[in-house]
């Protein structure tokens, strides 16, 4: 099992992932890692009904998804993992999920925070996380769909105390 | 801004639910004046279900929060289903059927395009709304049972086949027009294979982020330069 | 001259209405090129050319998914413009005996004008997208007005503002179409008068490349592994049927 895309998207699963990223990455499985969606029967059902035999879609909580994507899992699936926030992503990282790059598609924070692209706003907490990630050598790729131009960002920490 | 559209679409139903109580009606409508961005056709089943839920709220059987969480959790996934099924497979299918039949029956091709597309479209608009109203929250199970993404991938294969047929007809007609009726079958075969190859190559190009209009220029330019050089050589 | 302006006006009016179908109302897909082309052709008195152009552009733009915030090419307006420029441009040039051309311009030479119109797609699309984005910008304001009016207890405001949104789309698209179609016809006319003959002679190649790219982009809507063999097998099968049917070996 190889992870082909790690995405942060507060709208979780929608057209951009299924119709643009999945064919672009030749993905065969999408894992939506979100505790709340896992708990809500309705949301889980709705998300999983987007799947087909060619592209399986599962909703899992974060713990479960990490176990699922563990490197010793040797089947040939190509997986997209979707988190709803950078905090969830960081939580997964701290629990042992490793990735070399992440894609940031949609973070809205109700329009508050710093605007990076029309669909990505980051608050201070996000900024700290992004900084940590880039220091860990994780590539940051900020764009909604693969045909967009990737936005480069500079993350300066405000004088670390 | 589909939020306004959704609010406008649900207003008549809400007017019916809250007949005289203008205050309640306004609060009900403003519940729907929020960010809403899903596939327009898939809005129908959601709309139906929401109307049902609004009725429950009037009866006091349901909490107002249910509606917004219901809508919020369906926007993304149903947008995805709509994109996959309608934009990604039904529209290409009807386009290809339309073009293919236009090659044989002229203007009827356009009519056939409209009919094929709108059978699916209006089916979702009408039965989606009705089913949504009947089932309420249960619409989610119903939509899942339809397995639209599964159908989408089947339909895509059918489209690929039809497109192959259309390509052959286009190439054959093209050869006839350019070279007249004197073409031998083997020449037609070779040209078709050549053009099918070119099509697959260009498809790869477009997939790799070359925009469609750029691809047209890219294909046009070498031939154009070749002709110009030939012209200059002729003069020299 | 006056009838060209009148025709462009009429075409832009209908084109503006048809383009509403794309996002604002109904969405029964009369805004697809295969429908728009023949309708515009009918207004200009040449359904056949309209259908030809519509079919070509239909395949070309079949893949443009309005996913998320991504704005695909504005296929309705492009179809209207290409059809208008081709048909009106061809009429303008018809019968003008160019000294520099080895032949007189006639009906069958429409493919040259069409080639020129096709090469203009890219800049026209940029302009159409601009119009579209600014219409969306206005619509956001109507959303806010509607919210405010609802606060005042005015329910009609919701519906009226929704209609106003559609009205803005129509007006902006209409104006863009009118300006671009007149400009396009002018460009075609001037380029046929002044460009080197070799350049003009190469224009049909643009039509051919649109056909090939169109088939390619339609093929791209199916990204299954199995679609390539199916595509090729179907092409060969149909070709065999045609050759047998026509009886030419």
**Stretch B115-140: mean pLDDT:** 93
- Chain A residues within an 8 Å CB radius of B140: 42, 45-46, 49
The Cα B199–Cα C118 span in angstroms is 19
Chain B: nearest CA to A122, how far in angstroms?
A: 19
CA nearest to A54 within chain C: C224
The Cα B129–Cα B47 span in angstroms is 6
How would you classify the pairing of strands A78-83 and A120-122? Answer: unpaired
Residue B116, chain A, CB below 8 Å: the answer is no
Residue A119, chain C, CB below 8 Å: the answer is yes
- H/E element holding A39? helix A35-39
CA torsion sign for B4, B10, B16, B21 is negative
pLDDT in tens, A89-109: 999 999 888 888 899 988 888
Whether A161 is covered by a domain: the verdict is no
| Lookup: tokens for B205 | 């190009």
CB-based burial label for C225 (10 Å; 0-12, 13-18, 19+): exposed
How would you classify the pairing of strands A120-122 and A56-60? Answer: unpaired
Residue among B3, B4, B186 with most chain C CBs within 10 A, to mutate: B4
Whether A84 is covered by a domain: the verdict is yes
CB contact under 8 A, B73 and A50: no
User: Can you give the residue range of the structural domain that contains B138?
Assistant: 1-146
Is B136 in the same domain as B211? no
- Chain B residues within an 8 Å CB radius of C116: none
Domain boundary among B146, B179, B206: B146
ipTM of the modeled complex: 0.89
Contact C67, A145 (CB under 8 A): yes
Chain A: nearest CA to C55, how far in angstroms?
A: 25
Q: What is the DSSP code (8-state) at residue A151?
A: B
Domain boundary among B98, B119, B146: B146
- Chain B residues within an 8 Å CB radius of A143: none
Is B152 in the same domain as B130? no
Position C249 scores a pLDDT of 44
The Cα C130–Cα C24 span in angstroms is 17
Q: What is the pLDDT along chain C (249 residues), one digit of tens a residue?
A: 788 999 999 999 999 999 888 876 677 888 899 999 999 999 999 999 999 999 999 999 887 666 655 667 888 999 999 999 999 998 888 766 556 666 666 666 788 899 999 999 999 989 998 888 888 888 878 878 887 887 777 777 777 877 888 888 899 999 999 999 999 999 998 988 888 878 888 888 888 889 888 998 888 888 777 888 998 899 888 888 887 776 554
Phi, psi (degrees; rounded to nearest 5) at A117: -135, 170
- Chain B residues within an 8 Å CB radius of C196: 231
pLDDT in tens, A21-50: 998 888 999 999 999 999 989 899 999 999
Q: Which of B64, B74, B15, B86 is nearest to B43 (CA)?
A: B74
Whether A87 is covered by a domain: the verdict is yes
The Cα B54–Cα B62 span in angstroms is 8
Contact C79, C181 (CB under 8 A): no
Whether A69 is covered by a domain: the verdict is yes
Whether A101 is covered by a domain: the verdict is yes
The Cα C61–Cα C79 span in angstroms is 10
Position A161 scores a pLDDT of 37
Position C102 scores a pLDDT of 65
Chain C: nearest CA to A109, how far in angstroms?
A: 17
pLDDT in tens, B148-184: 999 999 999 999 999 999 988 888 777 777 666 666 7
CB contact under 8 A, A19 and C65: yes
More reliable by pLDDT, C23 or A88: A88
Position C24 scores a pLDDT of 63
Q: What is the DSSP code (8-state) at residue A96?
A: T
Q: Give how many domains chain B has, as a whole number.
A: 2
The Cα A90–Cα A132 span in angstroms is 9
Q: For A144, which of C65, C69, C224 is closest by C-beta distance?
A: C69
Is B19 in the same domain as B128? yes
Whether A159 is covered by a domain: the verdict is no
- H/E element holding A42? helix A41-48
Chain B contact partners (≥3 CB pairs within 8 A): A, C
C-beta contacts of A126-129 below 8 A and 24+ residues apart: A126/A85, A126/A86, A126/A87, A127/A155, A127/A157, A128/A157, A129/A86, A129/A87, A129/A89, A129/A90
- Residue A138 sits in a domain whose CATH number is 3.40.35.10
Alpha helices (runs of H) in chain C, residue ranges in sequence order = 2-23, 33-43, 47-60, 75-93, 110-119, 121-151, 156-194, 197-202, 204-220, 227-246
First to last CA, chain A: 41
Q: What is the DSSP code (8-state) at residue C96?
A: -
- Chain B residues within an 8 Å CB radius of C35: 110, 113-114
Please give, one letter per residue, the 3-state secondary structure of chain B.
Answer: CHHHHHHHHHHHHHHHHCCCCHHHHHHHHHHCCCCCCCCCCCHHHHHHHHHHHHHHHHCCCCCHHHHHHHHHHHHHHHHHHHHHHHHHHHHHHHHHHHHHHHHHHCCHHHHHHHHHHHHHHHHHHHHHHHHHHHHHHHHHHHHHHHCHHHHHHHHHHHHHHHHHHHHHHHHHHHHHHHHHHHCCHHHHHHHHHHHHHHHHHHHHHHHCCCCHHHHHHHHHHHHHHHHHHHHHHHHC
Position B33 scores a pLDDT of 76
The Cα A37–Cα A46 span in angstroms is 10
Chain B: nearest CA to C121, how far in angstroms?
A: 7
Q: Give how many domains chain A has, as a whole number.
A: 1
Is B97 in the same domain as B16? yes
Edge to edge, what strands does the sheet with A78-83 contain?
A: A56-60, A29-33, A78-83, A2-9, A101-106, A139-142
| Lookup: tokens for B149 | 């993404």
Residue among C64, C65, C66, C68 with most chain A CBs within 10 A, to mutate: C68
Q: Which of A17, A111, B84, B37 is nearest to C136 (CA)?
A: B37
User: Can you give the residue range of the structural domain that contains A94?
Assistant: 2-152
| Lookup: tokens for B159 | 């489209």
CB contact under 8 A, A19 and B80: yes
């Amino acid at each position: 099992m190889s992870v082909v895309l790690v995405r942060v998207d507060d709208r979780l699963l929608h057209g951009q992932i299924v119709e643009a990223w999945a064919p672009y990455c030749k993905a065969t499985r999408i894992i939506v890692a979100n505790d709340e969606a896992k708990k809500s029967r309705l949301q889980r059902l709705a998300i999983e009904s987007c799947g087909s035999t060619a592209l399986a879609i599962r909703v899992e909580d974060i713990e479960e998804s990490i176990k699922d994507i563990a490197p010793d899992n040797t089947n040939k699936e190509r997986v997209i993992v979707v988190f709803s926030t950078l905090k969830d992503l960081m939580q997964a990282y701290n629990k042992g999920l490793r990735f070399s790059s992440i894609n940031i598609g949609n973070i809205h924070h109700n329009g508050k925070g710093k605007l990076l692209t029309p669909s990505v706003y980051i608050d201070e907490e996000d900024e700290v996380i992004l900084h940590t990630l880039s220091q860990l050598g994780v590539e940051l790729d900020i764009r909604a769909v693969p045909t967009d131009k990737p936005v480069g960002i500079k993350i300066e920490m405000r004088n670390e105390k | 801004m589909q939020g306004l559209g959704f609010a406008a679409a649900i207003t008549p139903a809400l007017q019916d639910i809250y007949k005289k109580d203008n205050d309640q009606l306004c609060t009900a409508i403003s519940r729907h004046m929020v960010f809403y961005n899903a596939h327009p056709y898939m809005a129908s089943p959601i709309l139906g279900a929401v109307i049902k839920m609004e009725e429950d709220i009037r009866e006091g059987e349901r909490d107002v929060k249910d509606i917004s969480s219901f809508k919020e959790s369906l926007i993304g996934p149903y947008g995805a289903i709509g994109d996959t099924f309608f934009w990604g497979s039904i529209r290409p299918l009807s386009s290809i059927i339309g073009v293919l039949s236009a090659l044989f029956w002229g203007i009827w091709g356009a009519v056939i395009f409209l009919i094929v597309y709108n059978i699916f479209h209006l089916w979702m608009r009408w039965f989606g709304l009705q089913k949504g109203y009947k089932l309420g929250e249960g619409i989610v199970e119903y939509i899942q049972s339809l397995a639209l993404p599964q159908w989408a991938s089947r339909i895509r294969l059918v489209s690929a086949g039809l497109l192959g047929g259309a390509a052959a007809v286009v190439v054959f007609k093209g050869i006839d027009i350019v070279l007249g009726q004197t073409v031998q079958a083997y020449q037609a075969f070779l040209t078709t294979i050549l053009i099918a190859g070119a099509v697959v190559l260009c498809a790869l190009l477009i997939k790799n982020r070359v925009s469609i209009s750029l691809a047209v220029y890219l294909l046009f330019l070498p031939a154009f330069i070749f002709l110009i050089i030939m012209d200059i050589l002729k003069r020299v | 001259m006056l009838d060209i302006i009148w025709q462009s006006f009429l075409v832009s009016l209908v084109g503006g209405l048809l383009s509403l179908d794309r996002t604002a109302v109904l969405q029964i897909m009369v805004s697809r090129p295969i429908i728009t082309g023949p309708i515009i052709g009918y207004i200009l008195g040449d359904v056949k050319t309209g259908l030809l152009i519509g079919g070509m552009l239909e395949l070309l733009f079949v893949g443009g998914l309005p996913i998320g915030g991504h704005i695909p090419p504005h296929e309705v307006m492009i179809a209207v413009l290409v059809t208008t420029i081709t048909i009106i441009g061809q009429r303008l040039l018809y019968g003008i005996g160019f000294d520099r051309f080895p032949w007189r311009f006639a009906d069958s030479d429409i493919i040259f004008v069409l080639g020129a119109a096709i090469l203009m797609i890219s800049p026209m699309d940029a302009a159409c997208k601009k119009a579209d984005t600014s219409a969306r910008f206005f619509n956001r304001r109507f959303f806010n007005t509607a919210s405010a009016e609802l606060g005042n207890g005015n329910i009609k405001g919701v519906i009226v503002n929704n209609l106003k949104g559609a009205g803005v789309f129509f007006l902006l698209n209409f104006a863009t179409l009118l300006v671009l179609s007149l400009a396009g016809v002018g460009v075609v006319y001037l380029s046929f008068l002044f460009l080197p003959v070799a350049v003009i002679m190469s224009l049909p190649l643009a039509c051919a490349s649109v056909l090939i790219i169109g088939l390619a982009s339609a093929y791209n809507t199916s990204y299954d592994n199995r679609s390539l063999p199916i595509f090729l097998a179907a092409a060969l099968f149909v070709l065999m049927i045609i050759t047998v049917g026509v009886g030419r070996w």
